[in-house]
Amino acid sequence: MNIHTGLIREFRTNANFVMAGGVLLFMHGEIRQEFYETSWLSIRLPSLNMKKAPTEKQRTGTERTLRMVADAMQNRFGENCHDALAFLPLVKVVRAGKENKLAAIPNSINDFLEQQELYFEEAQNG
């Protein structure tokens, strides 16, 4: 099951915040606006204010999402989950004027992504 689809059914208008918050907690251990703005999340789930204190429902949903993301990552990467957690936060988005672009990815990360058969399309608005 797609985590985000399930969150939309349960949290409706809060689903994007809950999804982004869970991913940020998994990747960084905390929710910060700058982490959100420099990640693919800002393109996939645009216009979120991660500075705003979450409601109780958002907080519990984010914590639950963290567990679901951690489980999905473990299932996907297995013994390579630790490497994925080290490398994936380094994939950054850079804002160039009104467009978002994927920053250059170091060769070591590209090698890992290819081994795991993960490919990033050029990140753009729209």
How much is the mean pLDDT over the chain?
A: 86
Residue 125 included in any domain:
no
Could you report the per-residue pLDDT of 53-103, keeping only the tens digit for each?
A: 999 999 999 999 999 999 999 999 999 998 888 887 777 777 777 777 777
Residue 122 in domain: no
Asked whether residue 52 is domain-assigned, the answer is: yes
pLDDT at 33: 96
In degrees, rounded to 5, the angle at the alpha carbon of residue 51 between the alpha carbons of residues 49 and 57 is 80
* Backbone φ, ψ for residue 94 (5° rounding): -120, 135
Q: What is the domain range of residue 18? A: 3-115
In a domain, 121, yes or no: no
The answer to whether position 88 is within a domain reads yes
Q: How far apart are CA 81 and CA 13, in angstroms?
A: 31
23-27, 74-78, 89-93, 121-125: the lowest-pLDDT one? 121-125
Structural domains counted in the chain: 1
Overall pTM surpassing 0.85 (yes/no) = no
Residue 23 lies in a domain: yes
Q: What residues have CB less than 8 Å from 45, skipping those under 6 apart?
A: 16, 19, 20
End-to-end CA distance of the chain: 26
In a domain, 120, yes or no: no
- Residue 72 covered by a domain: yes
